[in-house]
Amino acid sequence: MRYTVFQFLKLFLILAFFLSPTVVTTQTLGGVRPQTTAPRKSGVLTAFRAALDISHLSGVAADNRYNWDADLLLDADLFDVGMFRGNLLANLETIVGSELRDVDPNQNNYTADFSIFVRLPRGELGTTFHHVSRHLSDRKDLGSVSWNMVGVSYGDRFTLGALRVDAGIRALGTVERAGVDYTAQLEWHGHFTRPINPRISIIAGLEGVIVPVEKQMMMRNLKKGGVAFGGVRFPTGVGVIDVYVAWERRIDAGQFSRDIPQWTKSGIRLRTPLP
């Protein structure tokens, strides 16, 4: 049987997701990215995607600082000229605990990406400027925490029989940072959808991130994180609803405490229609 280069790449990505020693990623380090590919169009503001994700955190590591995780994602293609598309992504994550009151939003994390994607015969190659800033809420200001990265990515969406696969990899290098020791970021993801009937699909996914650090700054070594999830998807007239459970290992869940907890998440995600 003959295999093309792209078929070998698909196989490599799938095996990497399942066999990697680090299973998955976080919100501020990995996990937030533009849509892997987009249908070819021509014009300005050719696509707009949005998602609201609310999950409950549980487990020993989910103390009174970490009870809920809420994300609002906006992802727009600003222009599309056939072979190229320009994308702007913005994500707001709010962590809610119960330290000072029953419902206590204690930190906000902002992510903004500007990307240019080049369509290949299979998939898309991208270059990205990636910015993250982190802020405490209703707490004493302990200083600035932010970083800027630039890098490249490759992603594709394809089918294997009845299984729909969205897979990609991204490598970023730090160009500016404040309050963190991150020097680079390597992340990958594999999301899988298996329709059961027109009203319901099974979903699953693996995401991973490796973060090299400047060891002398905080006297620590390379960090690994990630997330693995499974659930069900319900199409609606205006989008889709995902109900899921997940396991997460999060790098620097507290931007000043530098903890790396592992916890279980159960949540719901509302998304605009998927092309």
Q: What's the pLDDT at 107?
A: 93
CATH for 5-271?
A: 2.40.230
pLDDT band at 138 (very low <50, low <70, confident <90, very high): confident
Counting every residue written for the chain, the total comes to 275
Distances (CA, A) of 186 to 136, 145, 153, 215, 258: 26, 20, 10, 17, 19
Q: What's the pLDDT at 61?
A: 92
pLDDT band at 97 (very low <50, low <70, confident <90, very high): very high
For the residues 50-63, what does the mean pLDDT come to?
95
pLDDT, tens digit, for every residue of 221-259? 999 999 999 999 999 989 999 999 999 999 999 888 888
Q: What's the pLDDT at 22?
A: 36
Q: How far apart are CA 185 and CA 68, in angstroms?
A: 25
Can you give the pTM of this predicted structure?
A: 0.87
